[in-house]
């Protein structure tokens, strides 16, 4: 242990030690090996999280519920039900319709055909089997001077409607239907121009299975205009619709307010009818922070900022309205893009020819979308591309499912293009081919209306599900 | 006395050692026998010559009979009697052994007693030990129900006249027995009892024949008990223990009363088996073998027992109950049992005391002769606790660590269970661990036959010791990890370095590893327990290189026990130990200096055995878990994998021992790193430092290999990076060990040479190294218990659900968490929630596939059939903890067959299935081999524990 104490001196000892001593060689080797091991230490990638949705098998069950109110006075209402054509989607399966909570009756419909039903009393459409993939339905309300087109939608827990009112010239009624076998409990809140509208009896509304509840806005928020209705089911699901009557130049325009599922920081409004008329942008801010909204107009030749629309401030819990008619009258077909730091809801109310229409908030298509073509109300498809150029294929079909025209639209980045189907077309199918494309179909005749292009459920988009470790 | 004829009959076999004294005693009798007959049974020594010489020189009538070699005692006596015709008067025979020397008055006193008690047929003297001559051996003898020879004396009792009373006894020893010749001829000795036990048998039969046997303490015979003590071994006796036991069993079986016979048969059988097991447990395998072979040899021949019993029935004249008072009381065997246990206990305590005193002496010697005078604090042994704390730096270090542990645990006290990170809450009691460990089929998910992890066994045992309080065990492990680990490290380093100061520094630095590395904060049970176990494993393994063969083998078994305990928590330890052993053997650190095969085996054998025993000790798991859990099963340590807490390892993380998040800043460990590297520079300790470095390099290599790859903890689950707490612990521990070895006597070393660059560098390194654990303690106390480990309510599902599931496992709770944006995870609980250890028996992903499909439907678009399928799989409730996915909530609300249940936590939702859950779609496939494997494990544990225990030397 102490053998080295008598080492005569460093000069003599040091070289000898490092020349041949096996222990010091081993020490050096150990050090080198340790350094090499540290240098070679790799680092495994973190756990590969499977997340998001995966495209799964074809949808085999679809439940749609159309807005359920009697037709307007001096008017008629009908349902149009179809499934997008496509051999690969398969045929067969059953399709039924029923009133909520009542017995169902079978409907004879083949893939690709459009079924027109004159009676709206049994608004729940349920498909099982192959026919369920790509099923769509619309309700059309016509009166001599008005048109309203509303999509039939699957029940869900959250609904937002912007543009409701309860004044002498403007009235809205909310209809809530529970088409499920369990009860639903619903909260309704209203955002008015001056903040959240205090209401009575709109929290914890229980809707029994198969039941329906009609809530006129004049009952819960009389003399309030420019309202946004938020519906949230704390239990169960509902189908909600808002029928809106708006007095325009002595006539009463009819429309179903387009529904949004949730507020968004980036809202896209499509389906603004081109041509003369007034247009009002309505922006609601359901959050508790002020929203500063930048509005961009996406026209045929690219985006621009309209005068007076560069920055819109919306107080928390309010619905703000801005007249944008002057800015857009000569702009041709346009879409609006709204950006905000806090999630907002928006729509554009257009009035012309004694009727109103509300531009729906849409999201880019990820699959085929369908829209009806209504007799005597020429339809215009308006599609807009996102930041990259896009391409969509548009095909018109007659009620028998025969192709009656179509086109392929190449969209430059941030531009809006239109296309009109032929007279024989009964519905349109729009399929995105490239890029992010969104749009709507607007109808203009002796009345105004619009239908958003929404991706139809064709393939089941499944989330990743796996057993947990804790 | 004139009418009485006494024939002294001496049977001799290889007794030349004692014969002169025996014959001398015979010659000096105050009442000489009338005739002396010596019977030699084929002695190979000078015995025959001695007899011839002596008998020729006496005046009385003598004869020497040569019986054939291998004759039994009975046959020899018969041969001797045949040589002397009966006188026809009052004939007595005085039996003597060649190792029993009578006192001069022995025969006189015996005959006097015979005269006083005319009814006595057999009389026996007081036997005293030869050569001590003072200790009592026997004053009459009887037998207990278990066949034990009962003398009624304490072992080694001195003769002070305390038993000097003529009394009736069952039997007397044949050494010095005075027996009526007609009785001896009529009853005779049983030929089946060649040497041992024939005296008791004779006495018992005499008693049944209505004859009296007296112990006459006035007569004294000194007896060597050569055969009984194993001093004399003859072909007739064979193994004396076996022969003795065989005779005892035989004697009891053939003489007991008829009604007691079945009971005695069973009792002796079971008793012998228990004795055999007990002897095995105290590491007396040879005795155990004797016990069992004796049992087998007696019980294998029931015909002999029956014929012997018939024979005795013929000779009996009094009922069995008439001799019962002569037999030992029934409680005697139990008193002996208690005595035995007390004896073993005191022996163990005694041994521990011996060890610690030896250690103290060694420590004292080390401090006196060692190179570090400043730590030679040889305190008087009887100083008080406070004085010790003040005066003893080592005690002060540990006191500081305990106080620091209590302060650092401040955030983790209160109600609830310690959980979080990789740690699941402990079960309600230790029985939960026992149940999970023993079950072959686990009611978890759709049911699982996966083998429970081996660490549940030590947890269950320790939890049971803590009165079943499982939570207390987990609390102690995590909150007291630092001082306990430091103590282990200190003891190991003291053994290695012999320096208290170096060991105390190393112990403190080592004890801090689980908190500095973040293992405690992350709830890494495996690494924490590994920190506590590793020093003791290393301590045991040190003796694998011992020069003493017996010690080496005991070290092997002890090492295998420690390694099995460590591998139960961290299976990777076994692999690492195997690699370390290969390196050691390969580099010649362990191994023979010469090349003989015998020596090779004796050096490597213990190492190999220590490694090979581990899979056997971890049995059901080591065999069954591969198929059940996937190929990478042995890479994951105890606790959840918790991949979110494992960051990709940087090189500094490896060097400074930071396997994951929540650890201390890396610079706190710089001191240890510097000291470990510079430890290589000291030439005189370099050889031993290199040993530590070999392990260090091995730990780094294993880390390097494992850090770059991802592994699936469960077959079918996604791969994830490993928590490398254990290999990095080994690296740090080796570094500390190297530094401690090099630090031994560093002051003397630095002052002993002329001043140069060594002194400043050495001082700087010592200061930096000393500061490292101090800074670590400061950080730990200041930082407290921050990290994922927390004390929280154990149950996450509503109580009414867990209660229903606990009452009936068919009311399972399906917990679905996640969202459409990320992913959904589900868990089917059949109790209050997953508890520590339950995670080890989770069913494989493939088995849960039906449930995965149903849950996928629930989150996308459920139908009534999905709910029915759930009910068929024993699901009673569905619970979505906050934040519950809105789509899932809407789906569940819209499907028929469920009703909404109450969920108190905001944002959570619960549903109850309306249909009564059944088990129609649940199929049990319990592992059939598990009970057998568990039994094998228990046997292996007992065997290894016995082999690892210090040898108990039997005193006779």
Q: pLDDT, tens digit, for every residue of B108-163?
A: 999 999 999 999 999 999 999 887 778 899 999 999 888 888 888 888 888 888 88
A184: which chain B residues are within 8 Å (Cβ-Cβ)?
A: 893
Mutate to test the interface with A, among B820, B894, B910 (most CBs of A within 10 A): B894
What pLDDT band is residue B368 in, cutting at 50, 70 and 90?
very low
Sequence-distant (6+) residues with CB within 8 A of B132 are none
Q: Which residues of chain A have pLDDT under 70?
A: 1-20, 44-56, 470
- Distance, CA of A360 to CA of A339 (rounded, Å): 16
Token pair recorded at residue B128: 């005293």
Task: Report yes or no: A428 and A370 within 8 Å, Cβ to Cβ.
Answer: yes
Token pair recorded at residue A328: 């857009």
Mutate to test the interface with A, among B690, B893, B898, B911 (most CBs of A within 10 A): B893
Write the DSSP symbol of residue A360. P
Per-residue confidence (pLDDT) for residue B430, from 0 to 100:
92
Per-residue confidence (pLDDT) for residue B379, from 0 to 100:
38
Whether residue B331 is predicted with pLDDT greater than 70 in this model: the reply is: yes
A259-260 and A158-166 beta bridge pairing: antiparallel
Q: Of B299, B296, B287, nearest to B241 (Cα)? A: B287
Whether residue B587 is predicted with pLDDT greater than 80 in this model: the reply is: no
Q: How far A164 CA lies from chain B's nearest CA (Å)?
A: 26
State whether residue B749 is helix, strand or coil.
Answer: helix
Task: Report yes or no: A161 and A122 within 8 Å, Cβ to Cβ.
Answer: no
What pLDDT band is residue B625 in, cutting at 50, 70 and 90?
confident
- Neighbouring CB atoms inside 10 A of A79's CB total 23
Q: Does B640 touch chain A (CB under 8 A)?
A: yes
State whether residue B469 is helix, strand or coil.
Answer: coil
B718: which chain A residues are within 8 Å (Cβ-Cβ)?
A: 47-50
> What are the Cα distances from residue B842, in Å, to B436, B451, B624?
11, 9, 14
- Distance, CA of B498 to CA of B374 (rounded, Å): 14
B684: which chain A residues are within 8 Å (Cβ-Cβ)?
A: 1-4
**Contact yes or no for B848 and A43 at CB 8 A:** no
- The mean pLDDT value for B385-398 works out to 75
Which member of A30, A37, A48 has the closest CB to residue B680? Answer: A30
Token pair recorded at residue A323: 């007249």
Q: Of B212, B454, B191, B142, nearest to B304 (Cα)? A: B191
Q: Can the peptide bond before residue B348 be classed as cis, meaning omega within 30 degrees of 0?
A: no
Which member of B445, B690, B818 has the closest CB to residue A30? Answer: B690
Per-residue confidence (pLDDT) for residue B440, from 0 to 100:
87
> Mean pLDDT in chain B?
85
Q: Does B672 touch chain A (CB under 8 A)?
A: no
The two most distant CA atoms of chain A are separated, in Å, by 121
> What are the Cα distances from residue B82, in Å, to A370, B9, B32, B62, B67?
128, 11, 21, 13, 11
- Distance, CA of B565 to CA of B559 (rounded, Å): 10
Ramachandran bin of B923, using left for φ above 0, alpha for ψ from -120 to 50, beta for the remaining angles: beta
In chain A, the residue whose alpha carbon lies closest to the alpha carbon of B728 is A38
**Contact yes or no for B690 and A31 at CB 8 A:** no
Whether residue B604 is predicted with pLDDT greater than 50 in this model: the reply is: yes
B886: which chain A residues are within 8 Å (Cβ-Cβ)?
A: 157-158
Whether residue B365 is predicted with pLDDT greater than 70 in this model: the reply is: no
Q: How far A211 CA lies from chain B's nearest CA (Å)?
A: 14
> Mean pLDDT in chain A?
86
**Contact yes or no for B842 and A467 at CB 8 A:** yes
Q: Of B430, B412, B431, nearest to B420 (Cα)? A: B412
Q: pLDDT, tens digit, for every residue of A221-272?
A: 999 999 999 999 888 889 999 999 998 777 888 899 999 988 999 999 998 8
**Contact yes or no for B654 and A463 at CB 8 A:** no
Q: pLDDT, tens digit, for every residue of B678-724?
A: 998 888 888 889 889 999 999 999 999 888 888 887 767 778 888 89
- Neighbouring CB atoms inside 10 A of B134's CB total 12
Sequence-distant (6+) residues with CB within 8 A of A151 are A66, A136, A137, A138, A139, A451, A452, A454
Q: Does B889 touch chain A (CB under 8 A)?
A: yes
What pLDDT band is residue B263 in, cutting at 50, 70 and 90?
very high
Q: pLDDT, tens digit, for every residue of B802-836?
A: 888 888 888 899 999 888 777 888 988 888 888 89
A427-434 and A369-372 beta bridge pairing: antiparallel
User: At CA B926, angle to CA B922 and CA B932, rounded to 5?
Assistant: 170
State whether residue A203 is helix, strand or coil.
Answer: coil
The two most distant CA atoms of chain B are separated, in Å, by 122
In chain A, the residue whose alpha carbon lies closest to the alpha carbon of B859 is A463
Sign of CA dihedral B596, B602, B607, B612: positive
End-to-end CA distance of chain A: give it in Å, rounded.
55
Which member of B644, B684, B827 has the closest CB to residue A468? Answer: B827
Whether residue B294 is predicted with pLDDT greater than 80 in this model: the reply is: yes
- The mean pLDDT value for B656-667 works out to 86
**Contact yes or no for A1 and B745 at CB 8 A:** yes
> What are the Cα distances from residue B678, in Å, to A78, B589, B613, B685, B809?
90, 22, 37, 12, 61
Write the DSSP symbol of residue A257. P
Per-residue confidence (pLDDT) for residue B599, from 0 to 100:
61
- Distance, CA of B734 to CA of B719 (rounded, Å): 30
B721: which chain A residues are within 8 Å (Cβ-Cβ)?
A: 43-47
Per-residue confidence (pLDDT) for residue B750, from 0 to 100:
77
A464: which chain B residues are within 8 Å (Cβ-Cβ)?
A: 823-824
B690: which chain A residues are within 8 Å (Cβ-Cβ)?
A: 23, 26-27, 30
**Contact yes or no for A45 and B648 at CB 8 A:** yes
- The continuous run of DSSP H or E covering A164 comes out as strand A158-166
In chain B, the residue whose alpha carbon lies closest to the alpha carbon of A49 is B718
> What are the Cα distances from residue A379, in Å, to A118, A385, A419?
21, 20, 9
Please return the burial class of A435, using the count of CB atoms within 10 Å of its CB with bins 0-12, 13-18 and 19+. middle
**Contact yes or no for B708 and A42 at CB 8 A:** yes
**Contact yes or no for A470 and B689 at CB 8 A:** no
Write the DSSP symbol of residue B915. S
Which member of B701, B827, B900 has the closest CB to residue A37? Answer: B701
Sequence-distant (6+) residues with CB within 8 A of B224 are B18, B99, B100, B130, B131, B231
Q: How far A458 CA lies from chain B's nearest CA (Å)?
A: 13
**Contact yes or no for A43 and B708 at CB 8 A:** yes
Q: Does B901 touch chain A (CB under 8 A)?
A: no
Task: Report yes or no: A467 and B827 within 8 Å, Cβ to Cβ.
Answer: yes
**Contact yes or no for A24 and B720 at CB 8 A:** no
Whether residue B403 is predicted with pLDDT greater than 80 in this model: the reply is: yes
In chain B, the residue whose alpha carbon lies closest to the alpha carbon of A36 is B701
Per-residue confidence (pLDDT) for residue B387, from 0 to 100:
67
Q: Does B855 touch chain A (CB under 8 A)?
A: yes
Per-residue confidence (pLDDT) for residue B87, from 0 to 100:
80
- The continuous run of DSSP H or E covering A327 comes out as helix A325-328
Which member of B650, B815, B859 has the closest CB to residue A463? Answer: B859
Q: How far A19 CA lies from chain B's nearest CA (Å)?
A: 14
Give the bridge partners for A377, in sequence order: A374
Q: Can the peptide bond before residue B567 be classed as cis, meaning omega within 30 degrees of 0?
A: no
In chain A, the residue whose alpha carbon lies closest to the alpha carbon of B856 is A465
What pLDDT band is residue B349 in, cutting at 50, 70 and 90?
low
């Amino acid at each position: 242990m102490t053998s080295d104490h008598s080492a005569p001196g460093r000069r003599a000892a040091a070289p000898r030690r490092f020349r041949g001593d096996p222990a010091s060689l081993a020490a050096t080797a150990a050090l080198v090996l340790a350094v090499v091991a540290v240098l070679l230490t790799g680092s495994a990638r973190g756990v590969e999280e499977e997340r998001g949705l995966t495209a799964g098998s074809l949808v085999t069950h679809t439940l749609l519920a159309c807005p359920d109110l009697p037709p307007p006075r001096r008017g008629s209402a009908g349902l149009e039900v179809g499934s997008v054509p496509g051999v690969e989607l398969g045929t067969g399966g059953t399709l039924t319709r029923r009133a909520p909570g009542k017995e169902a009756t079978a409907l004879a419909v083949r893939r690709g055909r459009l079924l027109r039903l004159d009676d709206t009393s049994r608004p729940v459409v349920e498909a099982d089997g192959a026919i369920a993939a790509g099923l769509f339905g619309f309700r059309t309300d016509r009166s001599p001077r008005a048109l309203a087109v509303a999509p039939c939608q699957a029940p869900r827990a959250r609904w937002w409607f912007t543009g409701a009112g309860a004044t002498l010239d403007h009235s809205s009624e909310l209809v809530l239907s529970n088409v499920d076998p369990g009860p639903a409990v619903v909260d309704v809140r209203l955002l008015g121009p001056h903040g959240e509208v205090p209401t009575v009896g709109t929290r914890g509304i229980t809707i029994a299975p198969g039941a329906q509840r009609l809530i006129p806005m004049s009952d819960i928020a009389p003399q309030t205009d420019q309202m946004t209705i938020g519906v949230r089911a704390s239990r169960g699901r509902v189908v909600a619709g808002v029928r809106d009557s708006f007095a325009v130049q002595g006539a009463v325009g009819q429309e179903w307010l387009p529904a949004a599922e949730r507020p968004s920081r980036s809202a896209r409004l499509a389906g603004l009818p081109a041509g003369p008329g007034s247009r009002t942008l309505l922006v609601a801010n359901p959050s508790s922070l002020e929203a500063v909204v930048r509005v961009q107009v996406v026209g045929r030749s690219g985006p621009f900022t309209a005068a007076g629309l560069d920055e819109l401030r919306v107080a928390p819990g309010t619905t703000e309205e801005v007249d944008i008619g002057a800015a857009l009258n000569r702009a041709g077909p346009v879409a609006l893009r709204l950006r905000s730091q806090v999630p907002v809801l928006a729509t554009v109310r257009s009035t012309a020819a004694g009727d109103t229409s509300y531009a729906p908030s849409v999201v880019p298509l990820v699959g085929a979308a369908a829209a009806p073509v209504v007799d005597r109300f020429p339809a215009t498809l308006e599609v807009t591309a996102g930041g990259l150029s896009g391409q969509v294929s548009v095909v018109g079909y007659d009620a028998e499912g025969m192709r009656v025209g179509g086109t392929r639209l190449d969209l430059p980045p941030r531009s809006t293009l239109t296309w009109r189907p032929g007279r024989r077309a009964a519905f349109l199918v729009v399929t995105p081919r490239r890029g992010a494309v969104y749009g709507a179909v607007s109808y203009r005749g002796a009345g105004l209306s619009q239908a958003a292009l929404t991706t139809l459920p064709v393939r089941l988009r499944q989330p990743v599900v796996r057993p947990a470790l804790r | 006395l004139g009418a009485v004829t006494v024939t002294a009959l001496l049977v001799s076999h290889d007794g030349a050692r004692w014969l002169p004294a025996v014959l001398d005693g015979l010659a000096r009798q105050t009442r000489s026998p009338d005739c002396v007959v010596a019977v030699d049974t084929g002695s190979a020594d000078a015995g025959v010559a001695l007899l011839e010489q002596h008998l020729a020189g006496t005046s009385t009538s003598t004869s020497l009979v040569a019986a054939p070699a291998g004759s039994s005692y009975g046959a020899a006596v018969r041969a001797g009697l045949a040589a002397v015709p009966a006188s026809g008067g009052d004939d007595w025979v005085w039996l003597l052994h060649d190792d029993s020397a009578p006192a001069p008055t022995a025969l006189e006193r015996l005959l006097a007693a015979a005269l006083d008690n005319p009814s006595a047929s057999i009389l026996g003297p007081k036997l005293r030990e030869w050569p001590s001559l003072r200790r009592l051996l026997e004053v009459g003898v009887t037998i207990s129900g278990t066949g034990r020879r009962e003398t009624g004396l304490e072992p080694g009792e001195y003769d002070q006249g305390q038993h000097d009373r003529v009394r009736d006894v069952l039997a007397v020893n044949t050494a010095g027995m005075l027996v009526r010749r007609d009785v001896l001829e009529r009853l005779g000795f049983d030929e089946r009892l060649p040497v041992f036990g024939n005296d008791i048998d004779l006495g018992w039969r005499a008693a049944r024949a209505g004859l009296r046997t007296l112990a006459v303490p006035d007569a004294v015979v000194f007896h060597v008990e050569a055969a009984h003590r194993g001093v004399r071994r003859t072909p007739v006796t064979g193994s004396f223990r076996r022969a003795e036991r065989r005779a005892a069993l035989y004697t009891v079986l053939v003489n007991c009363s008829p009604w007691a016979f079945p009971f005695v048969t069973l009792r002796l059988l079971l008793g012998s088996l228990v004795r055999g097991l007990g002897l095995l447990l105290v590491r007396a395998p040879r005795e155990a073998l004797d016990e069992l072979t004796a049992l087998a040899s007696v019980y294998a021949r029931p015909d002999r027992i029956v014929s012997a019993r018939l024979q005795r029935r013929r000779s009996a004249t009094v009922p069995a109950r008439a001799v019962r008072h002569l037999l030992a009381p029934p409680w005697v065997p139990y008193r002996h049992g208690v005595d035995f246990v007390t004896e073993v206990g005191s022996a163990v305590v005694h041994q521990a005391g011996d060890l610690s005193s030896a250690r103290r002496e060694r420590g004292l010697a080390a401090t006196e002769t060692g190179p570090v005078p400043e730590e030679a604090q040889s305190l008087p042994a009887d100083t008080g606790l406070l004085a010790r704390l003040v005066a003893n730096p080592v005690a002060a270090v540990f006191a500081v660590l305990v106080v620091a542990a209590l302060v650092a645990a401040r955030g983790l006290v209160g109600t609830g269970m310690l959980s979080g990170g990789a740690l699941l809450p402990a079960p309600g009691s230790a029985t939960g661990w026992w149940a999970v460990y023993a079950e072959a089929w686990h009611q978890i998910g759709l049911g699982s036959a996966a083998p429970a992890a081996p660490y549940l066994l030590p947890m269950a045992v320790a939890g049971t010791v803590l009165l079943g309080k499982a939570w207390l065990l987990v609390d102690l492990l995590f909150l007291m990890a630092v001082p306990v680990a430091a103590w282990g490290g200190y003891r190991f380093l003291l053994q290695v370095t012999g320096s208290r100061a170096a060991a105390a520094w190393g112990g403190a630095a080592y004890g801090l590893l689980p908190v500095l590395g973040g293992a405690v904060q992350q709830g890494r049970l495996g690494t924490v327990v590994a920190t506590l176990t590793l020093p003791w494993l290393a301590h045991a393994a040190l003796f694998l290189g011992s020069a003493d063969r017996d010690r080496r083998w005991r070290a092997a078994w002890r090492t295998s026990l420690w390694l099995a305990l460590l591998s139960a928590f961290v299976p990777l330890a076994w692999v690492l130990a195997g690699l370390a052993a290969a390196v050691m053997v390969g580099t010649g650190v362990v191994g023979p200096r010469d090349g003989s095969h015998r020596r090779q085996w004796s050096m490597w054998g213990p190492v190999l055995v220590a490694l090979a025993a581990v899979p056997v000790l971890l049995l059901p798991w080591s065999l069954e878990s591969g198929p059940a859990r996937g190929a990478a099963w042995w890479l994951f340590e105890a606790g959840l994998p918790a991949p979110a807490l494992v960051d990709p390892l940087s090189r500094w993380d490896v060097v400074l021992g930071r396997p994951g998040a929540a650890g201390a800043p890396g610079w706190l460990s710089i001191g240890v790193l510097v000291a470990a590297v510079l430890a290589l520079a000291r030439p005189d300790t370099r050889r031993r430092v290199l040993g530590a470095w070999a392990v260090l390099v091995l730990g780094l290599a294993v880390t390097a290999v494992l850090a770059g790859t991802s592994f699936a903890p469960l077959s079918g689950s996604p791969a994830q990076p490993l928590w490398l707490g254990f290999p990095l612990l080994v690296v740090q521990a080796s570094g500390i060990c190297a530094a401690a070895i090099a630090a031994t006597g560093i002051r003397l070393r630095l002052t002993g040479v002329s001043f140069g660059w060594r002194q400043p560098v050495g001082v700087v390194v010592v200061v930096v190294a000393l500061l490292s654990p101090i800074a670590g303690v400061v950080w730990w106390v200041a930082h407290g218990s921050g990290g994922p480990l927390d004390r929280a309510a154990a149950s996450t599902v509503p109580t009414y659900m867990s209660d229903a599931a606990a009452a009936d496992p068919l009311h399972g709770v399906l917990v679905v968490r996640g969202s459409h944006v990320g992913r959904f995870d589900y868990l089917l609980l059949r109790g209050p929630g997953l508890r520590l250890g339950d995670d080890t028996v989770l069913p494989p992903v493939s088995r849960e596939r039906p449930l995965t499909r149903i849950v996928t439907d629930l989150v996308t678009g459920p139908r009534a059939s999905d709910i029915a399928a759930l009910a068929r799989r024993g699901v009673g409730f569905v619970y979505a903890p906050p934040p519950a996915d809105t789509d899932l909530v809407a789906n569940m609300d819209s499907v028929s067959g469920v009703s909404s249940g109450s969920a108190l936590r905001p944002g959570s939702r619960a549903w109850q299935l309306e249909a009564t859950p059944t088990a129609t779609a649940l199929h049990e496939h319990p592992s059939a081999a598990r009970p057998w494997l568990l039994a094998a494990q228990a046997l292996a544990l007992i065997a290894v524990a016995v082999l690892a225990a210090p040898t108990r030397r039997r005193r006779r």
